[in-house]
Amino acid sequence: MDRHPKHEVFMICQGRLFNPLMITLVLVLSACGNGRPGWGKFPVTIYSDATITTYPQAQSDLQDAMNFWEQQSGQKIFDYRGTYNGTPYTGDVQHPSSIVANTIFFQSPWPLASAVVGQTIVNSTSSNQIQSAMVMINGNAAFCWGDCIGQYNQTSARKTFTHELGHFIGLAHTQDNTDIMYPQITPGGSLTTVRVDSAALRELTLQ
Ligand SMILES: [Zn+2]
C-alpha cells in the first residue's frame, strides 16, 4: 500500500481500487499521516455538488453517511447546506491553495489514476485544528447505490462517502477490517454491521 507523506498543510488521503480476487472491487486508501487534527467545534458546514443534490440515490447515500457519523458520535456533526454553486477550492484540485467551502463533490476529469476512487484533503493548522476540508469522488468510477445488493463488481458509494467523511472528521485508518475506516471497502452498501473506533471518534467530537 502506498504511503503518502503528510503535507505541511494538507493531509491527503486517497483510495485505490484493485481487484485481487477478480470478483470484488475493493477500495484501498493510503495512510494519512501521524497527526490527528480535529475540528474542535460542531456542527461543521458542508456542501455537496449539484451532481449529488440532483441525483436522489447519491443524495440519499450522502445523507446516510452523515447520519452514520452523527449516530455513532451522538451529536450533530454536519450542517449540510446542499449545493455549493461554484468551485469549492482555488488552485489545483489535487493541491488546492485554499478550500473555499467544505464540499463533497464528484470530480471529472479525474486527475488521479483511474483506479483511485476518492480523496479527502484536510487543511489543518500546526496546532491540529482543522480549518477546512474537501472530499473529491472519482466521477468516472463504477459506483453502486444504496445497499448494492448483488452488485459485487462495483464500489458502494454510501460506504465511500462514509469512509471519506470519516477522514473529513479527522479519523485515520484502522487495522480492523470490520471498521469503516479500514483501508479496504467491503462489498455491499449496508452500514448496519460496520464499526468505528469509538474512542478515536469521541476524542475528535468531544465538545
Ligand atoms: Zn481512507
pLDDT (tens place) for every residue of the chain, 207 residues total = 333 333 323 444 444 443 333 222 233 333 344 458 999 899 999 999 999 999 999 999 999 999 999 999 999 999 999 999 999 999 999 899 999 999 999 999 999 887 778 899 999 988 889 999 999 999 999 999 999 999 988 999 999 999 999 999 999 999 999 999 988 788 899 999 999 999 999 999 875
What is the distance in A from the centroid of ligand 1 to the CA of 156? 14
What is the distance in A from the centroid of ligand 1 to the CA of 162? 10
Say which residues have a Cβ less than 8 Å from residue 179's Cβ, sequence separation at least 6: 194, 195, 196, 197
What is the distance in A from the centroid of ligand 1 to the CA of 12? 9
3-state secondary structure 95-131: CEEEECCCEEEEECCCCCCCCCCEEEEEEECCCCEEE
Distance separating alpha carbons of residues 10 and 15, to the nearest angstrom: 16
Query: pTM of this prediction?
Result: 0.84
Q: Which residues surround ligand 1, an ion (CB under 5 A)?
A: 13, 29
